[in-house]
Structure 1
Amino acid sequence: MACSIRDVAKMAGVSVGTVSRVINGFDNIAPERIDAVREAIRVLGYRKNSAAQLLAGRRGGSRLRTGNIGLWMAEMGNEWSSNSIYINYLSGIEEVCARRGCHVLLEHTSAADGIPRCVHDGKVDGLIVKAVNDIPPVLGELARQLPVIGLSMLERDIPIAQVSTDDHRAGEQVCRYLWERGHRRIAFVSMRCHHRMFLARLQGYEEFLRARDAFDPELVQSALPGPNPNLPEKEFPDMSGPLEALLRLPEPPTAVIAANDWMAAGFYEAMEQRKLRVPEDLSVVGFDHLANLFLRPRLTSYETPMRGMGAAAAEWIIDMIEHGDSATGPTFRMVNGEIVVHESVSDGVAG
């Protein structure tokens, strides 16, 4: 039975991303991890699919002119098709493609390895990729054969063009906003703080407070992740654990930053169960600006420009196709958002 890159990662005791980097020849990896991956590959008899063979017809300047752009939602099965995050990315891509005379071919896969069918069958001239957690290991190889753009990745080890937003900057901006409103005890709550997006937001928050000698690690609290982090959440996460931990502190926070709006909604629920009020008892800020259809008071949130990122990726990849270009290394274009102020923040009392 053929094994997958996940099997290799499990045997080697490393992440799928590390296996991908070993396979693609990156050298910024600990030698013992390289040895473990190579041994797992040998034992399992792993053979990666060769995008170069499947796409050999594209060499020598030959490019299919299908008029189609592929949108590969890796690790994002059909369950994501009605999710607002997915819809916002897609809206930006479709708007540009319609204006520039292209069509979008959507492909959802539940895993991040393998080659998307739209590429395998030669139905697209370029590929935009959005992944939930793991970076598809074939991206570097695909990018040598046709234009590929990673959407909201910001991975400097992957040699492809990427459109993203600066989540580190966003975390700093949100913290600055609360600081300027007079808050000094500012907490950060999340699930899966190892996720690159949430981690970048946390790092921006932490650096802002450290620069003012105001960072307290006890103000950073995490909830347990859901059973399947690759599926869109159907219910608000249980944020009662982080709330209780913050309330037990000798000096509780006056404001809380949630790593995204969905977690902020869970924090609202936890506060309501404790008969605490937003913003009278705690100010709350989120990220993405996607939750105000169902939150009262409306949530102040950093509006992540998903539609704008989708549009920027579509413009860029069509330009690459028309000019016969492909990225030869990691190249980034940043599309930044802004804080949208609503009613979930009250003024603090600066000490």
Structure 2
Amino acid sequence: MVRSGSASGTTAGPTLAVVAREAGVSVPTASKVVNGRADVAPETRRRVTEALERLGYVRRPRFDAAKAPALVDLVVQALDSPWSGAVLRGVEEAAREAGLEVVVSSAPPGHGTGLTHSSGGSGSGGRPDRGWLDRLTARGSAGVLFHVAELSPAQYARLDHLRLPYVMIDPVSEPPAGVVSVGAANWRGGVTATEHLLELGHERIAVVAGSRRRMCGAARVAGYRSALASAGVRPRAEYLRVGGPDEGAARVRMLELLDLPEPPTAVFACSDRAALGVYGALAERGLRVPYDMSVVGFGDLPEARWAAPALTTVRRPTAEMASTALRLLVRMMAGDRPEGTRTELSTRLVERASTAPPPV
């Protein structure tokens, strides 16, 4: 973890970020000194060592899978989320390789933020409470993977105080500086979806997005805009529709698009759920996909394959994100520190039957 400070009135000692600030170095540099790495200048090593002794820094024991299987927690927002199964598969695969035992739990109810992950994340939003976080360490967890919408500043501070390594999987909002997270290449996914429609001959391309607060949704819309600009197509303000992330809200936004004097001929929905809402609006108006309107989604949920017609969408590598997060967590448990705090995995277009050239 790399956030400075600790909770007042606590006795767990300073975090590595506090030591780094005291010594006037970066957190990765301080981590190298703590872990006995050789690639540190002598003067820098002296300053960090003195800061460690002055502040009374106590290092967490290094994780050694050869001694005994370590216990890690995977916290998902809802076990019945369409994304939770893929997350579980990815974590299970990587945990088996690392010799870890995994405890899976859902975030306790009653601490929600009102956020949901329908645009590409896990179930409805929630913030685990402080006591619940303390229980993770009480049962001996060596690290935590969070697949929840977001954590509050107080919870980030509590995790730092507990000195518990953790990684965020596809958070809705951008985490604080220094927090390690794994996500998808959302901007590139937005570019890919829009370029596919442009290559088919569409120029009147609309986008149906979720909340403006969502980091992933904003990146997908930015990719959409970039692809249009690269193709020399002027984006129309009326073709950008922002609403809730569920099917009902997307259906309303699509009906608004159909009522324009010059409706679009194609739609990029920033989630598969939104794409299904677009399907509903088109069916209500007696329009057919893809003959009257092409539709591209984002996520590649199982529903994308079951839809009629099957939905062309951008695949979000959920299982791969989860396994990558677990491998990063293992490194942190061993006292290492990833060079970068944000890891993005590539997306790819999955062509099915919902896109075609624009109608004549």
TM-score relative to the length of structure 2: 0.71
Partner residue, 1:147: 165
What is the DSSP-based 3-state SS (H/G/I as helix, E as strand, rest coil) of the residue aligned with 2:146? strand
For 1:259 and 1:247, how far apart are their aligned partners in 2?
18
Report if aligned partners of 2:69, 2:101 keep a CA contact under 8 Å in 1.
no
Structure 1: which 4+ aligned runs deviate by more than 3 Å?
Answer: 47-55, 63-66, 133-137, 223-226
Residue 220 (structure 1) aligned with residue 240 (structure 2): yes
How far 1:52 sits from its partner (Å)?
Answer: 4.3
**Alpha carbons 1:260, 1:288 under 8 Å: kept:** yes
Q: Which letter maps to 2:169?
A: L
- Shift in CA distance, 311/129, structure 1 to aligned 2, threshold 3 Å: same
- What does the per-residue CA deviation read over 1:1-34, in whole Å, with 9 as the maximum and x for residues that have no partner? xxxxxxxxxxxxxxxxxxxxxx968xxxxxxxxx
What is residue 294 of structure 2 aligned with on the other side?
A: 283
Q: Equivalent residues in 2 for 1:184-333 (5 A)?
A: 184-211=203-230, 212-224=232-244, 236-290=247-301, 291-322=303-334, 324-326=335-337, 331-333=341-343
Moved more, 142-151 or 339-348: 142-151
Report the Cα distance in structure 2 between the residues aligned to 1:165 and 1:150, rounded to whole angstroms: 12
Q: Are positions 1:169 and 2:160 aligned together?
A: no
Matching of residue 114 in structure 1 with residue 134 in structure 2? no
What is the alpha-carbon distance in structure 2 between the residues aligned to residue 48 and residue 171 of structure 1? 44
Aligned residue number for residue 71 of structure 1: 74
**How do residues 5-16 of structure 1 correspond to structure 2 at under 5 angstroms?**
none
| Corresponding residue number in structure 1 for 2:144 | 127
Distance in 2 between the 1:319 and 1:86 partners? 23
Q: Distance in 1 between matches of 2:159 and 2:227?
A: 38
Identical positions, percent: 26
User: In structure 2, what is the Cα distance between the partners aligned to 1:105 and 1:244?
Assistant: 44
Q: Within 2, Cα distance between the matches of 1:119 and 1:53?
A: 19
Provide the residue aligned with 1:62 in structure 2: 61
Given the superposition, is the C-alpha separation of residues 150 and 206 from structure 1 closer, same or farther in structure 2, using an over 3 Å criterion? same
CA distance in 1 between counterparts of 2:218 and 2:356 reads 26
Residue 79 of structure 2 aligns to a residue in which SS? Answer: helix
TM-fit CA distance, 1:70: 1.3
| Among candidates 99, 102, 122, match of residue 101 of structure 1 | 99
What secondary structure sits across from 1:301 in the alignment? Answer: strand
Query: Aligned equivalents of 2:136 and 2:80: distance in 1?
Result: 24
Q: Quote the offset at 1:163 in angstroms.
A: 1.2
Q: Distance in 2 between matches of 1:97 and 1:197?
A: 27
**Counterpart among 346, 350, 359 of residue 340 in structure 1:** 350
Q: Which amino acid aligns with 1:151?
A: I
Residues 114-172 of structure 1, C-alpha deviation per residue, up to 9 Å, x if partnerless?
34255331421111112225556433552572322111137363312211112112111
What SS is found at the alignment partner of 1:202?
A: helix
Residue 345 of structure 1: how far off its partner (Å)? 0.1
Contact 1:140/1:158, CA 8 A, preserved across alignment: no
CA distance in 1, matches of 2:244, 2:178: 33
- 2:289·2:354 contact (CA, 8 Å) conserved in 1? yes
Are 1:157 and 1:330, in contact at CA under 8 Å, matched by a contact in 2? no
Aligned residue identity for 2:129 = G
Instruction: Output the CA distance in 1 between the equivalents of 2:293 and 2:139.
Output: 54
**1:191 touches 1:224 (CA, 8 Å); kept in 2?**
yes
Query: Secondary structure of the residue that 1:70 maps to in structure 2?
Result: strand
Larger CA deviation: 246-255 vs 181-190:
246-255
Q: How many Å separate the matches in 2 of 1:258 and 1:52?
A: 47
Contact in 2 for aligned 1:140/1:159 (Cα 8 Å): no
Query: In structure 1, how many angstroms separate the alpha carbons of the residues matched to 2:249 and 2:344?
Result: 32
Please tell me whether Structure 1 or Structure 2 has the larger radius of gyration of its CA atoms: 2
Measure, in 2, the Cα distance between the counterparts of 1:71 and 1:118.
13
Which SS does the other structure have where 1:267 is aligned? helix
- Equivalent residues of 2:248, 2:277 under 8 A apart: yes
**Cα distance in 2 for residues equivalent to 1:346 and 1:202:** 21
In 2, the alpha carbon distance for the partners of 1:51 and 1:193 equals 40
Task: Confirm or deny: 8 A CA contact 1:187 1:256 kept in the other structure.
Answer: yes
Structure 1: runs of 5 or more not aligned: 1-22, 26-46, 227-235
Deviation at 1:308, TM superposition (A): 0.5
- 1:277 is paired with a residue whose SS is coil
1:261 and 1:301 in contact (8 A); partners too: yes
Answer yes or no: is the 8 Å Cα contact 1:54–1:120 preserved in 2: no
| Structure 1 residue 336: Cα displacement | 1.2
AA of the residue aligned to 1:172: V
AA in 1 matched with 2:343: R
Q: Is the 8 A contact 2:169 2:322 kept in 1?
A: yes
Going from structure 1 to structure 2, the CA distance change for 1:225 and 1:173 (only over 3 Å counts) comes to closer
> In angstroms, what is the RMSD of aligned CA positions?
3.2
2:223 maps to a residue whose letter is G
Compute the displacement of 1:306 (Å): 0.2
CA contact (8 A) 2:170 2:181 kept: yes
